[in-house]
Chain A
């Protein structure tokens, strides 16, 4: 199992579906470089077409992870996160933790989808209150899970790929409602713990970190 392999992560110049992958790579100090596509229009169109042709962008979507020296071009952010997690000991310490990590990752993905539906809605201003309520209810269930699990991270003593995803989703929703996790002490301490992990702290302050979750003015 090589830990010096260079990964190339191709994505756009915002956080989007790549950010939790970046958080994992950064936290674990996994060598990687970014192939940033400057925009979703003129820059992306030829890259997408070529990528579909060659198989380097297998489904015409980003992010894609390529491992230098192999023929693997992996699409789907969940598949990328899981592949890196498998490789770099971020899939839990045992079978139980692995399955819980899967459940939590997908649960967080559902919350991200709710965010997406809201933030891309033309009528988002009118939908803000019901979005915040929906998100809060979902965070309440995560809070309950965490308190019953009683572990420092979502599934155990160490971070898994699910933790990076949750951190990012909390962050993007905090941009809509800054006190969204105020009622939830486990989620609050989770956030603090994650943000103060040295490599994450450094990354969040760095120029590698894009500000916007999605390329919309109100995001």
Chain B
């Protein structure tokens, strides 16, 4: 059984959890609290269990994998959710990396103690990216999701990032109908809907009290 090691937040692990849950892939969740991390990190950094001193880590049999993007790609390859053609795989990578960029905008903002005064800048930066993704997805009129007609690698991450953006600014997705549709479709997939209501689901994206 897979083991996913992370903090008790959504953070960089959530899109991996969504993948497991949607596809009903059995997994074990090992939670390291932030307090425990103070000891866990120096004790395990550079060992097999924590090769680069960072979480999340996925344990798959003898393999310990860090970097959420590496974990997501590993699972997408194993469970055939990377797209069927070379082009679809490449586009999945491109959109996944774009999602990382958007997530970074969110993270820079959410950790800013003065973020309430900087909402305009945040919205402008985020929307700059959302607009580009919307335009790109609109061009690919054939697919129901970002790349394919079923959710693949990038969709799980994009859904999570769209969700946390909207959590911070309710109306932020309003000008982006295709992205809104993808968000709504993902959210209502039966296994995801069930997971979102479950106690396995952490509420907070980040360890910031009003996030």
Interface residues of A (CB under 8 A from B): 52, 55, 58-60, 70, 72, 74-76, 78-79, 82-83, 86-87, 95-96, 98-100, 102-103, 105-107, 138, 140-141, 144-145, 148
Contact = CB atoms under 8 A, between A and B. Distances in A.
A70 B85 CA distance: 13
B70 A103 contact: yes
Given A82-B90, A95-B77, A102-B73, A107 B52 contact: yes
Contacts of B133: 59
Interface range on chain B: under 10, 10 to 19, 20 to 34, or 35 or more?
A: 20 to 34
Contact of A141 (B51, B93, B97): B51
B67 to A, nearest CB: 4
B199 interface: no
A99 B65 CA distance: 8
Given A99-B70, A99-B74, A83 B63 contact: no
A60 B132 contact: yes
B111 interface: no
A137 to B, nearest CB: 9
Contact of A87 (B63, B65, B86): B86
B46 A141 contact: yes
B45 interface: yes
- 10 interchain residue pairs of minimum CB distance: A79-B93, A102-B70, A103-B70, A79-B94, A76-B97, A106-B67, A99-B74, A83-B90, A144-B46, A76-B94
B205 to A, nearest CB: 20
Interface string B130-164: 00110110010000000000000000000000000
B67 A95 contact: no
Interface of B: 45-46, 48, 51-53, 63, 65-67, 69-70, 73-74, 77-78, 86-87, 89-91, 93-94, 96-98, 129, 132-133, 135-136, 139
Contacts of B96: 79
- Residue of A79, A83, A105 with most chain B CB atoms under a 10 A cut-off: A79
Given A106-B67, A145-B46, 10 more contacts: A59-B98, A70-B87, A76-B97, A78-B69, A79-B91, A106-B69, A107-B66, A107-B67, A138-B52, A148-B48
Nearest to B63: A96
Secondary structure at the A interface, as helix, strand, loop or mixed, is helix
Given A55-B139, A72-B90, A103 B67 contact: yes
B70 A106 contact: yes
Contact of B69 (A96, A102, A140, A144): A102
A86 B74 contact: no
B93 A59 contact: no
Contact of A103 (B45, B48, B66, B77): B66
B132 A78 contact: no
B97 A79 contact: yes
Contacts of B70: 99, 102-103, 105-106
B136 A59 contact: yes
6 contacts: A52-B132, A59-B133, A76-B97, A79-B94, A102-B67, A106-B70
B124 to A, nearest CB: 15
